[in-house]
Amino acid sequence: MILSTAFTLALGLIIVLSVFGLPMGLSMICASVLYLLMRGQDMGIVAEQFLNGMYSNYIMLAVPLFILAAEIMNSGTLSERLLRWCDAVVGRFRGGLAQVNILQSIVFAGMSGSAIADAAGSGKMMQHMMTQDGKYTPSYAAALTAVTAVIGPIIPPSIPMVLYALIADASIGYLFLAGVVPGLLMAGVMMIQVAVTARTRNFPVEKPVPLRQLPKMTWHALPVLFMPIVLMYGIYGGITTPTEAAAVAAFYALVVSIVVYRSVRLPDLYAALLTSAKTTASIGMLIAGALVFNYVVTIENIPHSLSAILLSWDLNPITFLIAVNILLLILGCVLEGTTILLVIVPVLIPTASALGIDMVHFGVVVVVNIMLGLVTPPYGLLLFIMTRISGAPMKAIVGDVLPFLGGLVLALILFTFVPETVLWLPRMFGYGGGGL
């Protein structure tokens, strides 16, 4: 595979601009413009092709809508009510608050689709609950919040899966279903680790909430707990598309916050809209840059050339998936997850398809890898967020994250080599894809 001078210069420009602090999306756009100019491409025709291709594509509309739903939930008392209910359910056991952290992430995952929203939304409250009176060290509380937030984009809905569906032309509905079992298994692994650590480190036992109060607390939290059911029933009952379900999620969160709980005022709603707009603009710029640069990569015929090279090595699906896992885990240490998903993964998809790897199975493996990158040093974004929230030193947080990371990697190995853990639920709903 011989790269042209224009592509080599474009790639070098991305690196230089990124080193000097320009956002990755803008760096890719600048590099792509340079490439197109050097190749004599008409910018107007290229732009027209993009607009025509995206005109009837509504998938990406789900991204800002899920972000808005998460921001509205964080603005009101939905997250707080969810935490109180989780505390009533599992807080009575040794290390109960740590188990609460995991349980609330499972429920919150069914609402936001974003690991960042999960950590930022409940992170402050969980950090305060776990560290008050010295119950848990700040670093352990921060580490646990970071790794539990990883579950967010695995259990549907999931913003990274929406983006993967865009580049792989896979079914969003089946991708969402495929994430349920892996997400629950990851949560189960963390719960077992917490239970073992709770005894070895003598974590405290919280004052149990009387069981007679549990029905009342469940009733008060029911509108929050009902939201994932509304979303899933809408999608898999054939009532809404995933994009429409994202709009329903935002509207549902707004109605529950304003009408039912009366916890969101006009200034809160304005702040949620503003934050959602800023986050969407940031992600949108990255998507725009990645799409333009992927156009450049396609012109260079890199995906098919790389696919031919890999296939010439006589790789089988298992060795290919091992290589992909290693590559994505390493890249996750130094690159932002969305960049990996939009720039690196499209190059791998033709080879995966040629080897007969199911695109839904591959998508879940890819998204889990990218989510683990959020908690791998030195770049792990969730580590930076929890360092800022907790005030604990990064080194201490990383030390407490590593055991959980080890358990999650073992879960990733299971998902990779036992496709039924991923594809069982989609097949129950009629999916006809294969495994390895």
Examine the domain organization and report whether 172 and 303 are in the same domain: yes
- Which pTM value belongs to this model? 0.78
Asked, for residue 232, whether it belongs to a domain, the answer is yes
Over the chain (436 residues), the average pLDDT of each successive run of 10 is 72 82 80 83 69 63 77 71 72 75 77 66 72 81 88 83 85 88 92 88 74 78 77 74 79 83 80 83 76 76 68 81 88 77 84 88 93 82 79 87 92 92 88 68
Asked, for residue 306, whether it belongs to a domain, the answer is yes
Which distant-in-sequence residues (6+ apart) come within 8 Å of 57 by Cβ? 166
Asked, for residue 2, whether it belongs to a domain, the answer is yes
Asked which of 36, 56, 76 is the last residue of a domain, the reply is 56
Asked which of 16, 35, 56 is the last residue of a domain, the reply is 56
Examine the domain organization and report whether 18 and 34 are in the same domain: yes
pLDDT at residue 367 in the model: 92
pLDDT at residue 289 in the model: 77
Examine the domain organization and report whether 43 and 131 are in the same domain: no
Asked, for residue 117, whether it belongs to a domain, the answer is yes
Examine the domain organization and report whether 225 and 370 are in the same domain: yes
Residue 296 belongs to what domain range? 57-428
Q: Is 405 left (phi over 0), alpha (psi -120 to 50) or beta?
A: alpha
Asked, for residue 434, whether it belongs to a domain, the answer is no
Q: Check: CB of residue 227 under 8 Å from CB of residue 95.
A: no
Q: Check: CB of residue 79 under 8 Å from CB of residue 257.
A: no
Of 153, 154, 178, 138, the C-alpha closest to 67 is: 153
Asked, for residue 436, whether it belongs to a domain, the answer is no
Asked, for residue 286, whether it belongs to a domain, the answer is yes
Examine the domain organization and report whether 373 and 242 are in the same domain: yes
- Count of the separate structural domains present in the chain: 2
Examine the domain organization and report whether 126 and 20 are in the same domain: no
Asked, for residue 433, whether it belongs to a domain, the answer is no
pLDDT at residue 110 in the model: 64
Examine the domain organization and report whether 194 and 181 are in the same domain: yes
Examine the domain organization and report whether 15 and 144 are in the same domain: no
3-state SS string for the chain: CCCCHHHHHHHHHHHHHHHCCCCHHHHHHHHHHHHHHHCCCCHHHHHHHHHHHHCCCCHHHHHHHHHHHHHHHHHCCHHHHHHHHHHHHHCCCECHHHHHHHHHHHHHHHHHCCHHHHHHHHHHHHHHHHHHHHCCCHHHHHHHHHHHHCCCCCCCCCHHHHHHHHHHCCCHHHHHHHCHHHHHHHHHHHHHHHHHHHHHCCCCECCCCCHHHHHHHHHHHHHHHHHHHHHHHHHHCCCCCHHHHHHHHHHHHHHHHHHHCCCCCHHHHHHHHHHHHHHHHHHHHHHHHHHHHHHHHHHCCHHHHHHHHHHHCCCCHHHHHHHHHHHHHHHHCCCCHHHHHHHHHHHHHHHHHHCCCCHHHHHHHHHHHHHHHHHCCCCCHHHHHHHHHHCCCHHHHHHHHHHHHHHHHHHHHHHHHCCHHHHHHHHHCCCCCCCC
Examine the domain organization and report whether 423 and 357 are in the same domain: yes
pLDDT at residue 2 in the model: 56
